[in-house]
Amino acid sequence: MAARKHSRQRDSILQFLMTRKDHPTADIIYMNVRQRNPSISLGTVYRNLTLLAENGEIKRLNMGDGVDHFDADTSPHYHLFCEKCGGVVDLKMEDIDSVIEKAAAHFDGHVAGHVTYFYGTCSRCMESGDF
């Protein structure tokens, strides 16, 4: 439904996001993309992130910290929210979608999917020991 047109802003946002594996927030993305494109506005960043997420080109992550995080890696994988640095890191693990059947077992309605994320300490904060 979107007769989408090309835009430099969207390009640089997506490009930047692909270089990062720490799932930055809209604000972090804004500050970084700004360095190459000084005139870009926060609103444009938000608009494009939403557009890209709706198109499935990126993922919008809700890690319970009140801010949305974005991930250019759309392949299925899990995330951990580091309670020490507030960062989000990837977590490779076997698929646990079987929890859906477990949930559906004693449920009258329909279980379409699940959201699962972990919290704890990332390896970086584990080493640096400073907390």
Partner DNA sequence: TTCCTTGCAAATCGTTTGCATAATG
Partner DNA sequence: CATTATGCAAACGATTTGCAAGGAA
| Shortest distance, position 3 Cβ to a second copy, whole Å | 28
- By C-alpha distance, which of 11, 2, 17 is closest to 40? 11
Query: Which CA distances in Å does 87 have to 5, 37, 67, 118, 123?
Result: 33, 25, 11, 12, 11
CB proximity list for 64: less than 8 A, separation 6 or greater:
81, 117, 119
Binding characters for a second copy, 33-52, by CB under 8 A (x = yes): --------------------
Within 86-125, the residues that bind a second copy by CB under 8 A are: 89, 91-94, 96, 99-100, 102-103, 105-125
Instruction: Choose between 73 and 83: whose C-beta lies nearer to a second copy.
Output: 83
CA distance 16 to 67: 19
Instruction: Choose between 2 and 131: whose C-beta lies nearer to a second copy.
Output: 131
Applying CB under 7 A, the residues found at the interface with DNA are 2-10, 25-27, 37, 39-44, 46-48, 50-51, 66-68
CA distance 23 to 87: 8
- Contact between 14 and a second copy (CB under 8 A)? no
Chain-centre distance for alpha carbon 92: 15
Instruction: Choose between 8 and 102: whose C-beta lies nearer to DNA.
Output: 8
- Which residues contribute to the site for a second copy (CB under 8 A)? 62, 64, 78, 80, 82-83, 89, 91-94, 96, 99-100, 102-103, 105-126
